[in-house]
Every structure is written in C-alpha cells, then in structure tokens.
C-alpha cells in the first residue's frame, strides 16, 4: 500500500466528509433549537438534487444561477416542512416529532417514486467540472474541488452568521432556553423558521453536490447519506455546529478508510458498522465530541 494510495483515500474522505458535514449541520441546528431528530432532512438532499436536474438540464440555466436557485429552493422546502408538520406539534413529546419526521420522510420518498418513478436518472455538470486535476500522487476532478471549497465557504459563512448577527444570537438564545428567549422578545417562530431554512438550504446544496459527484440520482438517494449525517451529528455532539462539521469529516474518512483498507469482505458490513458506531457512541459518549452537558439521552 503506497503513500500515494493512502493520500488519495484521505482526499476522497475529505470530499465525502464535506457533503456529510453540510447535511449534519442542518440536523444539529434543528435538534439544537427544538430538540427534534428530523428524519426527513435526508430527503431534502434528494429534493435538492432533483431541483438541480430540473434547473440545469430541463431549463438549461447557467450553473451559478442553478446553484443559487437550489439554495433558495432548499430553504423554502425547509420552511414548508416546519410550517406544515412540525409547528403544529411543537411542545409534544420528542418521540412524536421523530415519528412525524419518519412519516414525512416516507411520504416524500414515495411522492418522489410516484411523480418521478424509482428509475435512476443520469445527469452531468458542465464540462469544466469534469477536468481531472493531478497533484503529485493525488488526482481528483474539478467538481470535487468545487465541492470542498463551496462547503468550506458555506460553513465559514454559517459560523459567522451564528456568531455575529442578530439572528444568530436569537438562534443561540432559543437553543439555550426557548421560553426565556421568548420572554426576552425574540420572535421564536421566525428564529425556528430561519433555522429550518438554513438547514434545508445546506442540505439541498449537498444534494446538488451529490448529483455532480455521483452522476446518478433517484428518489431514495437521501436516505443513506441522511442517516450517516445524523450519525455524524451525534458523533460531534448534537446541537454543536463545530461538532457536526468534525463529525461529518470523521464519518467521511471512516467510511473511505473502511472500504479502502480492509479486505473486501468487510465492506459488506459497512452499514452495520456505521450503526454499531452510533449505538456505541450514544451509550458511552452521549455528548459526542463537542456536545454540552448530558441531557436525557442515556
């Protein structure tokens, strides 16, 4: 096993991790603010990738416009989900929200199958994205570079937003204590809606990236990355944005290393491994890497 091979695998892990991190941020922010495990979050990724397909190939918009439209569209989807499903049941036990999100996820997936058929669809980014860049022993496509850079820019932007702006202060206050934040004059509904909008926007962007990287999309594609990103959010400590980013990269790396370095027999156990990891972390490190003090997790 040469050094170049290892380096190449690490770069692959970084690319995959960037996408997981973007999705995990949404999970963690939504959990942080209303203690909801939003299972339908992965399906926003799917919606984002189909939006990309529609704007890019059916409508033929230029790429920058497509990216912008997907981000706005994802935010709208996030807001719609919050308004229609989760706001009416706010204050209900946590499990209620989780089961509702599971129902929503199954509904979105089956609507996708109904309207778009389960047949995978191919799509490709414009040619410049397909260029192969070789740096020493490592080679990747332009699209991979763009994925990583975009992810980093978005993450930095998000952290600045949460740290510096009035909205960000409101979000942190609401996450800390919803009731007190309301008493302090923060518009809770608007803050929660903004959180869903940001989460949805990032997830839809991840969907665009998914399509660009793998070149094939179908209505069920959001399920597995959604689950893995959830695990990433738990690894990092649910509620912490920095934790979600680290968790995303850890899961991305772990997955690539698992497949790249262990004998092929084990890669069949990849999904079992991810969930085994999740259960172990929930049991022994319920706060993850960056989570705050223990809540009622275990």
Partner 1 sequence: MYTLSQRLVFIGLALAGGLLILLMRQFLNDYILSIAGFVGIYVILAVSLNITNGFTGLFSLGHPAFMAIGGYTCAILTFPVQRKGYFLSGLPDWLAGTELSFFPALLIGGLFAALGSLLIGLPVLRLRGHYLAVATLGVIIIVQVLITNMGGITRGPLGLNGLPTLTNLWWVYLWVLITLYLGWKLKFSSFGRSMLAIREDEMAADCLGINLLRTRVQALMVGAFLAGVAGGLWAHLVTAITPKSFSLILAFTIVVMVVVGGSGSITGSLLAAVIFSMLTEAFRPLEESLNVYGIGEIVLSLILILILIYRPIGLFGTSEPGWLSPGKRKSLSGTAGD
Tokens 């290393």 belong to 257
What does the per-residue mask of binding to partner 1 show for 23-42, with x meaning CB under 8 A? --------------x-----
Among 65, 114, 149, 156, binds partner 1 (CB under 8 A): 114
Q: Does 103 bind partner 1 (CB under 8 A)?
A: yes
Nearer to partner 1, 49 or 109 (CB): 109
Q: Does 116 bind partner 1 (CB under 8 A)?
A: no
Q: Burial-class residue 215 by CB neighbours within 10 Å (0-12, 13-18, 19+).
A: middle
Q: Does 230 bind partner 1 (CB under 8 A)?
A: yes
Is residue 100 a contact partner of residue 85, using CB atoms and an 8 Å limit?
yes
Q: Does 190 bind partner 1 (CB under 8 A)?
A: no
Q: Does 275 bind partner 1 (CB under 8 A)?
A: yes
Is residue 276 a contact partner of residue 186, using CB atoms and an 8 Å limit?
no
Nearer to partner 1, 37 or 75 (CB): 37
Q: Which stretch binds partner 1 (CB under 8 A): 61-69, 81-89, 159-167, 198-206?
A: 81-89
Going by the DSSP 8-state scheme, the letter that residue 141 receives in this structure is E
Please report the DSSP string for 70-87 in residue order.
Answer: HHHHHHHHHHHHIIIIIT
Number of residues that bind partner 1 (CB under 8 A): 39
Q: Does 282 bind partner 1 (CB under 8 A)?
A: yes
Question: Up-side HSE of residue 61: CA atoms within 13 Å toward CB?
Answer: 15
Residue 188 and residue 194: Cα distance in Å, rounded? 10
Residue 192 and residue 175: Cα distance in Å, rounded? 10
> In Å, how far are 124, 230, 265 from 205, measured between CA atoms?
16, 17, 34
Nearer to partner 1, 120 or 157 (CB): 120
Q: How far is the CB of 148 from partner 1 (least distance, A)?
A: 29
Q: Does 93 bind partner 1 (CB under 8 A)?
A: yes
Q: Does 262 bind partner 1 (CB under 8 A)?
A: no
Determine if residue 91 is left, alpha or beta; phi over 0 gives left, psi from -120 to 50 gives alpha, anything else beta. Answer: left
Q: How far is the CB of 37 from partner 1 (least distance, A)?
A: 5
Would you tell me which residues interact with partner 1 (CB under 8 A)? 37, 85, 88-89, 92-100, 102-104, 106-107, 109-111, 113-114, 118, 230, 268-269, 271-272, 275-276, 278-279, 282-283, 286, 296-298
């Amino acid at each position: 096993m040469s050094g170049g091979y290892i380096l190449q695998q690490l770069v692959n892990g970084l690319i995959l991790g960037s996408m997981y991190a973007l999705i995990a941020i949404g999970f963690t922010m939504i959990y942080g603010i209303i203690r909801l495990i939003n299972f339908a979050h992965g399906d926003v990724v799917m919606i984002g990738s189909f939006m990309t397909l529609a704007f890019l190939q059916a409508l033929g918009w230029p790429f920058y416009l497509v990216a912008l439209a997907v981000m706005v569209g994802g935010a709208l989807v996030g807001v719609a989900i919050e308004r229609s499903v989760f706001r009416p049941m706010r204050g209900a036990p946590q499990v209620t929200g989780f089961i509702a999100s599971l129902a929503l996820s199954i509904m979105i997936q089956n609507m996708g199958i109904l309207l778009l058929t389960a047949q995978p669809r191919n799509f490709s980014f414009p040619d410049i994205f397909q260029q192969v860049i070789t740096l020493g022993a490592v080679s990747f496509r332009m699209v991979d570079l763009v994925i990583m850079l975009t992810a980093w820019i978005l993450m930095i932007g998000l952290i600045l937003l949460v740290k510096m702006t009035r909205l960000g202060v409101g979000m942190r206050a609401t996450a800390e204590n919803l009731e007190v934040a309301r008493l302090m004059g923060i518009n809770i509904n608007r803050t929660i809606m903004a959180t869903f909008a940001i989460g949805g926007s990032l997830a839809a962007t991840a969907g665009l990236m998914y399509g660009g990287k793998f070149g094939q999309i179908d209505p069920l594609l959001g399920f597995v990355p959604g689950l893995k990103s959830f695990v990433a959010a738990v690894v990092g400590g649910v509620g912490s944005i920095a934790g979600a980013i680290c968790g995303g990269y850890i899961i991305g790396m772990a997955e690539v290393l698992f497949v790249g370095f262990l004998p092929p027999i084990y890669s069949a156990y990849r999904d079992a491994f991810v969930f085994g990891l999740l259960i172990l972390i929930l049991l022994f490190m319920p706060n993850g890497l960056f989570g705050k003090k223990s809540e009622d997790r275990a």
